Amino acid sequence: MKSTAEYDEVVVFGTRGNALLMLNEAELLWQGRVRVVAMVDELSNGHLHPVLGVPVLSRDERLKLYPDVPVLIMAGGIPLRKRIFHDLVAEGATIGNISTLGMEGVDKGTIFSHGTICGPRTRIGPNTRFGIGTLIEATLVGHDVTVGDFAVLSAECLVLSHIDIGAEVNIAPGAVIMNGTPQRPIRIGEGAVIGVGAVVLRDVPAGAKMIGNPAMPIRKWLKLQKMLDEM
């Protein structure tokens, strides 16, 4: 697997809203230093991008025209990001990272794995590690935090301290993962979904869908709502 956070030109995989939002954030870090030479869209290609004015290519065209240019994966959904990542690795592509090491508010020991994209507004504490293909737009990731492969930490969420986030977890905007302890970190199980504004106080099982404050499985909130309606 090849990856790099050092580049002057990139190809962006993704062409729509999420990709454009992330590119706007990346430009705060790049300051005009990095040029997007092309974008990749598997469904609609063969034209110029209406906003950036660069060619929109198929995967085969990317491989033919820009085989050595790093590729940033800026598609939004976790299953799609994961599939694109593994497809690009199989093609021998160099996966681009967006690393904020060296920026104010980011601990110098932070570990960014292959294909991680981290927004420049995220503050990160010590002893923090991000797995491959993660997308980090959180306001804060505190200390002693591990984030599993392909997890998404959305804008304005807060991940405090002593927390273990499993692979492919999706934490929605405004959610808060409260503090664990060194002896008992809070664990968010693989594939869990934490809803908008949810406040997580304890462990979350793998695959659970949590909402509310305090965060509970959706079915429990529905049961509680039914009880209130019947009062």
Given the residues 49, 86, 114, 143, the one annotated as active site: 143
CA angle 206, 129, 110 (to 5 degrees): 160
Whether the upstream peptide bond of residue 173 has omega within 30° of 0, thus cis, is no
Strand 35-40 vs strand 9-13: parallel, antiparallel, or unpaired?
parallel
The whole-angstrom distance between residue 218's C-alpha and the CA centroid of its chain comes to: 23
Give pLDDT, residue 220: 83
CA 83/CA 89 separation, integer angstroms = 10
Residue with tokens 């492919």: 168
Mapping DSSP onto H, E and C, the string for the chain reads CEEECCCCEEEEECCCHHHHHHHHHHHHHHCCCCEEEEEECCCCCCEECCCCCCEEECHHHHHHHCCCCCEEECCCCHHHHHHHHHHHHHHCCEEECECCCCCCCECCCCEECCCCEECCCCEECCCEEECCCCEECCCEECCCEEECCCCEECCCCEECCCEEECCCCEECCCCEECCCCCCCCEEECCCCEECCCCEECCCECCCCEEECCCCEEHHHHHHHHHHHHCC
CA 193/CA 204 separation, integer angstroms = 9
Give pLDDT, residue 39: 98
CA 120/CA 99 separation, integer angstroms = 8
Would the CA dihedral through 125, 131, 132, 137 be positive or negative?
Answer: negative
For residue 143, indicate whether it is catalytic.
Answer: yes
Q: Residue 218: is its pLDDT beyond 90?
A: no
**Segment 160-212, tens digit of pLDDT:** 999 999 999 999 999 999 999 999 999 999 999 999 999 999 999 999 999 99
Mean pLDDT of the region 34-44: 96
**Segment 62-94, tens digit of pLDDT:** 999 999 999 999 987 899 999 999 999 999 999
pTM metric for this prediction: 0.92
